[in-house]
Structures are given as C-alpha cells and as structure tokens.
C-alpha cells in the first residue's frame, strides 16, 4: 500500500480542519480501507466559545458522511471536557451516549457525531484515523488471528479483543491503551473490526495508517495469501431473466416490500459462487460489524427463500431478548448460475451490499489461504444486527419513496417525454432502465438507479437482450412505459409510400408488441403487480389529414393495450394510456419548426403553443408525472383507461 500524500495539495490546506478533510479523503479514495461511509477520522483542536472562553474541541466525522467526499461541514465539533468525563463512567447505554454526544456539540446544525467519538477522544493524539482495512481484517478473522497480529506488529500497536462498537468499546480501549501503549505505539488493532492510527500531524496519522495496512498486506503476500485467482467461471448461455425475477419476487415477499436485486455474473462472482466449499466459507459471518449491518446475518445459498427465512426465524428466536424481528429476507444470495446477488430496498442500497460482499469475498479467500476464515460468533452478529442504535435508525427512518425497490423500463428515453419519464420515476425512488436508439441514452442520467441501453426496439433479439441486462442489473420489471415512436412526414393516403407505412407500423406497433410480449413473464412477477403505460396520441381519438400511418399505428397500439388489459388482468397487470398533444419542449420542435407551424395557422408562437381550450402549454414533465402517477396507487383500480393531456381539444370533445 502506497501513500497518496501530495505536499503540493497539502500546502493548499490553510487550517488543521482542512488538512483533516484532505487526509480523510485520501483514505476514502481506497475502497480496501473504507467503503460507503465506513471508518472515521478526527481532529483535536482549541477554540473560543461565544463567551470568549478557550475550550478543547474534538472534530469527528459525522453520521451520514463518506470519507471519500467529506467536507469541513461533515465533521461534528464536540467539547473534549464533556467526552473525557463521559469516558470515566462505569456504564452508559448507547442511546444515552448518543444523546450526550449531541448535547456536547458546539454547533447544533452539525451532523450527529460518530458512535466511536469517545474512543477518539481518549486517544492522546491530535489526529486519529480509523478504517476497516481488508488486509488487517483478513488477518484478525482467522483462528489464530491474535498471534498473527502480534507477529506482524509487535509493540507498534495495542491489540483490542473484539468488543461491539459503542461505549463499552471506548472503555475497553481506554483501559488497554493506557496499560499497553509504549513509545513505539502508532496504532490499535481492533480484532474482527479494523485498525486505528494516530499522530501529531495529519500526514503522520495518515501515513501510519498506510504503514500498518501495508505491513498486513506484506504478511499476506509472504504467506501466499494475497494473490487471488478467479478463473473464468462456467457462463451459462441461457436467459436467466425469468428465474432471476422469480427469486427477486420471493425475496420481496419475505421482506414485505419490493427490493432491487443486482446479479453479479462476472468471473469473480461466478467463480466464488461455483466453489465446492462456498456453503461453508460463506456461512461463517461477515468480515466486520459494519458489514453485519449492511448485509444482514449470512448469505442465502441457492434460491430456497422459504428455507432461509425459516432458519433466520429460528436464529432470531434463539437470541431475541425481546427485540422485534427485522424483515427476514436475505441481502446476499449466492447461486452457481446467478453468481452473487445483492439485495437492497433501492438500487443504491443493493449497490452498497454488492461492494461490501465483493470485499468480503477477498477477505474470506485470503483468510482461508492463511489457515481458515473465522468471523464473529452468531451471538455477536445478532447483537450488531439488533443494536439499539440501528433499531433507532430504523424507527426514525421516514417512509421510503413511493416506487422504492421497484424497476421501470422506459423506451425513447434519451429525449423528450421519455427522458422526462425517466426523471419522474427516479424522483419517486424507482430504478429505471432507459432504452433508445440514440447512444446518448447511456449518459442521459447518472447514479446507481439508472441503466441506459442503446436498443433498436424493432429488433426482437435486441429487445430480449435489453430485458436480460435489465433484470441482471435490478432483478425484475414492475413498470413499462411505452413511449418510443416515430412521426413520419405528412402524406395523404392516395400517395403514401409503402416503405413509410411499414416502417411506422414496425416502430410504433410491432416493436411495442415485442416489448409487451417479452415483458409479460416479468410483469407477472412484480411484487406489487405489473403496470404498463402507453404513450398514445391525440391522433387516436381525433386523427388529422396527412397522418394516416401515424394515426393508424397509434390506434392499433391502443387497441393492443386494451386486449392486453383483458388478458393480463388475472396476472395482476394493469395497462393504461395517455394521449398527449402539443408537447413542444421536445427535440423535434425547434424554434424554426414552431414558427413555421404557427405561421401556417396565422398565430404567434405563444398562441400556437397554447392553442387549446384551456389556453395552457403542455410540457414533457406534465406528461411524465401523469405517466408515473398511473403506475402509482391512485390508479390501482384502473385498467384500459385512456386519458388525454392536451389542454382540451374541441375535435376530441
């Protein structure tokens, strides 16, 4: 492990807190040290309060902040005097500790201090760093981990036997540190948990962390437990989208809410999942307490969710102590065909689980090469999973977004109404797959909840491939927005070209048939019932001259929707249609086109844009928000409906 310290960058940090931010971000850049909010750092400094009195302050990473992106506002300032007095108490419940930490802050708007704040306070160093370094955790999570840690570090570190995070850990660290620390001490190793480093300067503390982790890496290399091989696994060339969606549906049923399930089918995940010993090595427990919270107790082997839930309930009853059981659904499922599937209530949560377990695989396999992986006991795992502080977080958590855990697919997603639909669905918590023939769809949106795929929806094989990728990314399909279409140049029936007619029917009708047909098995498995919204057109109820191909294709699509509503209702799938008109904030309506059309009617551009009964302009966002609402509970009792969104059109009325 190499230091990322750059003296030029450090010189731009004018304050101690700025340096604290700088080295925290250096740690956060390395996922083998910290992942998704894990780890914490602190700084001790002095300042004057509002009364002009000098007081010592501990700035410690606040809850909800990630070391990779932390800013000065992400550190909670807590009075040192209060923390050191708390450290002298014989006992303090974790909820009471959290309250005391908050009341000891000097800034009410700061984030809640880390639960390890008191531990940071009792260490007599200006800068303190804490990570869950993979290499260190690998060594501690072995049968003789304590002896190996002593062999690696000697008197460079104080070793702390496993204690659950919180006040008791702080007290134990205070006791052992005062007894065992010497002049050469530069850190602490917390068994089955992580590593602390400290120093008089930000650079010293940071580079001591790099040194300690590097020593663990060197030890693993020397003992043939560093380099991991993931040979190409047996990639099964068959469609897995339906069995994946079935598994996701069963896990959702066990959880009591829809979930996102990301299937890791890369060589690393498949190779791990296809190991003969995976039923044993994967059932020994998560690598650190932080992983327990994020990935629950143990992975599920195979696809038998009922058996897993039964085992989980038995495990809970053995350790319950009056707790209310969390949902018993797994957060990781390991299957030789699927690979390693990560489960979460949203795409971000599933992504975090996936990242954590990828690192867990490395820890397990290296520990096995070192002599055998040994994690926390079942009792210790339970205590972390049902920790008072985690239970309190769950109780305080607000209601999730309406489409949390659900998956939508939108066609024509790179622009116009389709792009607006993607945004509206993302805002409501859905994971969204966007299809478009335009390559811009790949980068139209960013973030873990969006997958943009270039796809010609008139190509049946491309449609099947897109659905396969969609389900592997998110686990299933709950909502389908059929928006893509073409509007050919005006031609009267007497002169319409056969090629134009066929192309219009292919894109506007046939392609949507392909999508509906291939999506049906997935929509049947949607935990909350499948939903389809067809973006139709005013031309269905009120066709115009010169638009025979477009009007006929859209009318046929609506009729297809109506028949599907009759056939799919017993599968819990509802289909509805929107008929927009005069949506001018799309790519085809340039200023020149708008002016030309307005002139042809003898209207100004603004008059043309509001040429409807209500004299209002219809926007892509309005259409998209209504499409999203049609997928929501408000429309739960409606199917085969056709709803205009056009400001009122006298030809329709």
Q: What is the set of active-site residues?
A: 550
Contact (Cβ atoms closer than 8 angstroms) between residue 465 and residue 454: no
Pairing type for strands 431-436 and 450-454 reads: parallel
Return d(Cα 378, Cα 298) in angstroms, integer: 10
CA gap 461, 469 in Å, rounded:
12
Q: Residues with Cβ < 8 Å from 134, sequence gap 6 or more?
A: 32, 33, 287, 359, 362, 363
Residues 13, 18, 19, 25, Cα dihedral to 10°: -110
Let me know: does 260 contact 407? Beta carbons within 8 Å. yes
Distance from C-alpha of 428 to C-alpha of 432, rounded to nearest angstrom: 11
62 vs 50: CA distance, rounded Å: 23
Nearby residues of 222 by Cβ (< 8 Å), 6 or more positions away: none
Q: What kind and span of H or E run contains 344? A: strand 339-344
Instruction: Measure the CA dihedral 35/36/37/42, to 10°.
Output: 40
Sheet holding 127-131, edge to edge: 75-79, 54-61, 40-48, 127-131, 194-199, 187-190, 157-160
- Residue 505 is classified by DSSP as H
């Amino acid at each position: 492990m190499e230091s990322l310290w750059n003296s030029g960058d450090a010189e731009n940090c004018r304050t101690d807190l700025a340096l604290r931010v700088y080295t925290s971000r250096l740690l956060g850049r390395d996922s083998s040290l910290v992942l998704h909010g894990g780890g914490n750092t602190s700084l001790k400094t002095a300042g004057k309060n509002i009364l002009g009195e000098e007081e010592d302050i501990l700035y410690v990473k606040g809850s909800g902040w990630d070391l990779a992106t932390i800013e000065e506002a992400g550190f909670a300032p807590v009075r040192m005097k209060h923390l050191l007095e708390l450290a002298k108490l014989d006992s303090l419940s974790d909820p009471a500790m959290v309250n005391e930490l908050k009341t000891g802050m000097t800034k009410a708007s700061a984030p809640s201090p880390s639960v390890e704040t008191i531990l940071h306070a009792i260490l007599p160093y200006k800068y303190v760093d804490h990570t869950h370094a993979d290499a260190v955790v690998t060594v501690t999570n072995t049968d003789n981990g304590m002896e190996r840690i002593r062999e690696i570090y000697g008197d460079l570190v104080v070793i702390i036997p496993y204690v659950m995070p919180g006040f008791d850990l702080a007290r134990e660290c205070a006791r052992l540190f005062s007894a065992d620390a010497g002049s050469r001490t530069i850190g602490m190793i917390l068994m089955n948990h992580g590593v602390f480093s400290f120093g008089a300067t930000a650079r010293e503390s940071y580079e001591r962390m790099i040194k300690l982790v590097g020593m663990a890496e060197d030890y693993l290399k020397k003992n043939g437990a560093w380099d991991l091989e993931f040979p190409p696994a047996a990639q099964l060339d068959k469609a897995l989208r339906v069995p994946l969606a079935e598994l996701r549906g069963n896990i959702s049923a066990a959880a009591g809410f829809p979930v996102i399930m990301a299937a890791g089918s890369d060589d690393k995940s498949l190779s791990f999942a296809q190991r003969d010993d995976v039923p044993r090595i994967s059932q020994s427990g998560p690598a650190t307490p932080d992983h327990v919270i994020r990935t629950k107790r143990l992975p599920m082997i195979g696809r038998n969710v009922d058996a897993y839930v039964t085992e989980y309930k038995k495990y809970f009853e053995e350790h319950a102590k009056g707790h209310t059981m969390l949902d018993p659904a797994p957060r990781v499922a390991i299957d030789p065909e699927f690979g390693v599937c990560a489960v979460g209530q949203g795409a971000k949560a599933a992504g975090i689980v996936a990242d954590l377990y990828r690192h867990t695989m490395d820890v397990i396999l290296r520990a096995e090469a070192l002599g055998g992986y040994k994690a926390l006991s079942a009792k210790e795992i339970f205590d972390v999973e049902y920790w008072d502080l985690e239970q309190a977080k769950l109780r305080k958590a607000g209601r999730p977004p309406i489409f949390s855990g659900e998956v939508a697919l939108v066609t024509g997603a790179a622009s116009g109404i389709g792009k607006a639909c993607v945004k509206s669905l993302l805002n409501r918590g859905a994971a969204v797959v966007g299809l478009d023939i335009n390559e811009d769809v790949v980068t139209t949106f960013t973030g873990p909840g969006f997958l943009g795929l270039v796809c010609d929806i008139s190509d049946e094989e491309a449609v099947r491939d897109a659905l396969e990728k969609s389900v592997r990314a998110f686990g299933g399909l709950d909502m389908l927005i059929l928006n893509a279409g073409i509007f050919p140049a005006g031609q009267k029936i007497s002169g319409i070209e056969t090629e134009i007619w066929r192309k219009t029917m292919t894109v506007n009708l046939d392609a949507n048939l392909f999508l509906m047909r291939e999506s049906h098995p997935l929509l049947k498995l949607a935990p909350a019932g499948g939903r389809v919204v067809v973006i139709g057109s005013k031309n269905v109820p009120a066709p115009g001259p010169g638009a025979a191909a477009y009007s006929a294709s859209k009318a046929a699509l609506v009729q297809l929707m109506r028949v599907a509503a009759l056939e799919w209702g017993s599968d819990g799938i509802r289909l509805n249609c929107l008929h927009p008109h005069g949506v001018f904030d799309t790519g085809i309506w340039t200023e020149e086109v708008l002016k030309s059309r307005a002139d042809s009617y003898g209207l100004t551009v603004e008059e043309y844009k509001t040429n409807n009964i209500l004299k209002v302009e219809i926007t892509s966002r309005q259409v998209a928000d209504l499409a999203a609402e049609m997928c929501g509970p408000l429309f739960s009792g409606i199917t085969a409906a056709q709803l205009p969104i056009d400001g009122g059109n006298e030809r329709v009325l």
